[in-house]
Amino acid sequence: MEGGGVGDAYGEDRATEEQLITPWAFSVASGYTLLRDPRHNKGLAFSEAERDAHYLRGLLPPALASQELQEKKLMHNLRQYERPLHRYIAMMDLQERNERLFYKLLIDNVEELLPVVYTPTVGEACQKYGSIYRRPQGLYISLKDKGKILEVLKNWPERSIQVIVVTDGERILGLGDLGCQGMGIPVGKLSLYTALGGVRPSACLPITIDVGTNNEALLNDDFYIGLRQRRATGEEYHELVEEFMAAVKQNYGEKVLTQFEDFANHNAFDLLEKYRESHLVFNDDIQGTASVVLAGLLAALKVVGGTLADHTYLFLGLASRLPRPDDLVKYAESCMYTPTYRSYR
């Protein structure tokens, strides 16, 4: 696959028929441990030579199955599920056992699977996260970790992190406060960074900051996986976030991107304003939504003519994100009348 896809997403060369082992597997574990490593496991796609080189003889059925054949089988199986949540669970299970095949499946079938691994299905997955929880995905930082967040970050096995998507779970999509169960959002969003943006999975880190929840149903749910306490606010909340942001910069450097995801309105704007000058931060709900709205308007001007100032706009359904698209349109209107804008137009 040229110009994108799994090969580009990992930034690694493919093996040739003459190579005994694939280039990406020089230093990985062998034998049964290799089959349990989702980053390097290829399932039945291991060649005869690879099975000998990695001590896989007898650990796999004798048949060989290319990634394409495995993809065909998995898509067939996924389509047997009537409920999207069951498809989501199957995709997450695949990601945990064969990461390369997961991304090949997602990239090759993005229109069909995007609504499965992210919205809208991820919303139901977050609501039921405690019930469907199997293996930990991402990093959990809670109030219990105050004073040692840097140590927690160092527990993550990857060191060259480029993108962090972090949530505190207070405003998950349109579903409200889901607390620690909001982890499905950073996990899903970063799978899109890889499948659509080409960022290596090993460079992505999903994080949930657990400061409690005000969701009574979750607090009384035996299967809830987060702190069973009311949500921390004020100084206690901001001190934890401040320690987290400092630890991120110390551990991963100044160039790591931290994306604030699904924070409640009363914190989202404040956090973006506080850290935008000192850290590389981004809020998709605020900046991303506004940018897409503005891009659509600018594209429409090529059809209807005129300038932004010539038209009237109705913003509907943007909820807490309403002010920012409006502000950005006003800002763009002012820029369109400057010499700088005209020179770059």
Query: Residue 43 corresponds to which tokens in the numbers above?
Result: 């399932």
Note the pLDDT of residue 37.
Answer: 92
Note the pLDDT of residue 341.
Answer: 40
pLDDT above 90 (res 217): yes
Give the Å distances, CA to CA, from 325 to 108, 172, 266, 281, 288.
33, 20, 17, 18, 9
- ω into 201 cis (within 30 of 0): no
Phi, psi of 135 (to 5 degrees): -130, 150
Question: Using 50, 70 and 90 to split pLDDT, how confident is the model at 106?
Answer: very high
> Is 262 among the annotated ligand-binding positions?
yes
Segment 92-102 mean pLDDT: 96
> Is 261 among the annotated ligand-binding positions?
yes
* Domain extents in the chain: 6-117, 127-279, 288-344
Question: Using 50, 70 and 90 to split pLDDT, how confident is the model at 20?
Answer: very low
Tell me how far apart the alpha carbons of residues 291 and 328 are, in angstroms, rounded to a whole number: 8
Q: What one-character DSSP code corresponds to residue 327?
A: H
Condensed to tens digits (0 to 9), the pLDDT of residues 54-77 reads: 999 999 999 999 999 999 999 999
Hey, what's the torsion of the CAs at 138, 140, 145, 150, to 10 degrees?
A: 20
Question: Using 50, 70 and 90 to split pLDDT, how confident is the model at 53?
Answer: very high
Q: Do domains 6-117 and 127-279 have the same CATH topology?
A: no
Q: Which residue has the higher pLDDT, 117 or 294?
A: 117
Whether 185 contacts 123, CB under 8 Å: no
Residue 294 CA from chain centroid, whole number: 24
Q: What's the predicted TM-score (pTM) here?
A: 0.83
Note the pLDDT of residue 27.
Answer: 55
Task: Look up the CATH architecture of domain 6-117.
Answer: Up-down Bundle (1.20)
> What share of the chain has pLDDT > 90, as a percent?
72
pLDDT above 70 (res 332): no
Helix (H, G, I), strand (E, B) or coil at 289: helix
Note the pLDDT of residue 335.
Answer: 61
Note the pLDDT of residue 285.
Answer: 85
Tell me how far apart the alpha carbons of residues 260 and 143 are, in angstroms, rounded to a whole number: 18
Question: Using 50, 70 and 90 to split pLDDT, how confident is the model at 29?
Answer: confident
Segment 81-102 mean pLDDT: 97
Note the pLDDT of residue 317.
Answer: 61
Condensed to tens digits (0 to 9), the pLDDT of residues 285-297 reads: 888 877 888 888 8
Note the pLDDT of residue 309.
Answer: 79
In this structure, the chain runs to a length of 345
Q: What is the mean pLDDT of the chain?
A: 87
Tell me how far apart the alpha carbons of residues 78 and 186 are, in angstroms, rounded to a whole number: 23
Helix (H, G, I), strand (E, B) or coil at 266: helix
Note the pLDDT of residue 294.
Answer: 83
Q: Which residue has the tokens 């160092």?
A: 154
Tell me how far apart the alpha carbons of residues 300 and 167 are, in angstroms, rounded to a whole number: 34
Hey, what's the torsion of the CAs at 65, 35, 139, 4, to 10 degrees?
A: -30
Query: Residue 128 corresponds to which tokens in the numbers above?
Result: 């039921």
The yes or no reply on domain 127-279 and CATH 3.40.50.10380 is yes
User: Which residues are catalytically annotated?
Assistant: 118, 189
Tell me how far apart the alpha carbons of residues 101 and 105 are, in angstroms, rounded to a whole number: 6
